[in-house]
Structure 1
Amino acid sequence: MIVHTLRFAFKDGTTEQQKDRVLAVMRRTAALESASFATVGQSLSGPADGFTHAYCVGIEDMAALERYMYDPVHLAGDPEILPHLARMAIGPDLADDMDPTLADRVMALHEEKAARYPEWAAQIEPLLVAG
């Protein structure tokens, strides 16, 4: 099982209606067949880190992760989500698979997606902060 986490904060001026829509789109992505479990909501890490919300999804294995990353629902959701985010931190992710190459394989899949969808990568890059 690969557990992917994302913490984020909305841009100033984002309305409650827009926030609700972003969270609904995230929940739609989290409900994909490739996701074993998920939760979307408030971040409990405390206000000092600057993140107000979080997304966590469990994905069975690398094959499911690839399906998840390229699912049309996921691909369609990011353009609705990303314009409303001020910042985000990916991870820490974790897995019960002890394969020492797993992190590199997950990163390679992410890099492949960034190369295939450079506009997506360009939207994500300025939002990232150290997790």
Structure 2
Amino acid sequence: MIVNLLRFRFRDDVAEADREAVLGAMRRTASVESAAFGTVGRDLGDPAEGYTHAYCVGVEDLAALERYMHDPVHLAGDDIVLPALARLSAVRFTDDADPETGAKIVALHLAKLAKYPDWERQLNAIPA
């Protein structure tokens, strides 16, 4: 299992209706075929850290992760989600014993960045 946990905060100028649209897009992404589980909601961490919400998704393996990353629902959701975020932090972990799993995940991420340069630009615009 590979788990991706995102903590985030909306930009101050994002209206409540737009925030709901973002959360809806995240819920759709967390429900794609390749996701074993997913959830989105309030972040319960220390408010001083600056995060208000969290997104968590689990995928079975690297093949499922690649499908998840390129799923049309995920790609469309990113165009709704990323411009609305003021802050974003990611934590990833796995129960896969292969010591190369981390490097393989990075390679998938880099391949997506190369394929979708606008996605990279949107990600890089969000402070951690």
Counterpart of 1:110 in structure 2 is 109
- Corresponding residue SS for 1:127: coil
Whether 1:126 and 2:125 are equivalent positions in the alignment is: yes
Distance 1:128 1:65 in 2: 24
The TM-score normalised by the length of structure 2 is 0.97
Q: How many residues align?
A: 128
Q: 1:98 to 1:114 in 2, by over 3 A?
A: same
Distance 2:33 2:76 in 1: 16
Q: Which runs of 4+ in 1 moved over 6 A?
A: none
Checking the alignment, whether the CA contact within 8 Å between 2:86 and 2:127 is kept in structure 1 is no
The TM-score normalised by the length of structure 1 is 0.95
Cα deviations across residues 8-64 of structure 1 (Å, max 9, x unaligned)?
000012111111110000000000010001110011112011000000001000000
Q: 1:61 to 1:128 in 2, by over 3 A?
A: farther
Residue identity over aligned pairs, in percent, reads: 54
Counterpart of 1:64 in structure 2 is 64
Distance 1:127 1:34 in 2: 26
Distance 2:77 2:14 in 1: 17
Checking the alignment, whether the CA contact within 8 Å between 1:90 and 1:128 is kept in structure 2 is no
Checking the alignment, whether the CA contact within 8 Å between 1:35 and 1:57 is kept in structure 2 is yes
Distance 1:68 1:51 in 2: 24
Report the aligned-residue RMSD. 0.8
Cα deviations across residues 45-95 of structure 1 (Å, max 9, x unaligned)?
12011000000001000000000000111111111111111110011x111
Q: CA deviation at 1:2?
A: 0.3
Whether 1:50 and 2:50 are equivalent positions in the alignment is: yes
Unaligned 5+ runs, structure 1: none
Unaligned 5+ runs, structure 2: none
Counterpart of 1:9 in structure 2 is 9
Checking the alignment, whether the CA contact within 8 Å between 2:36 and 2:57 is kept in structure 1 is yes
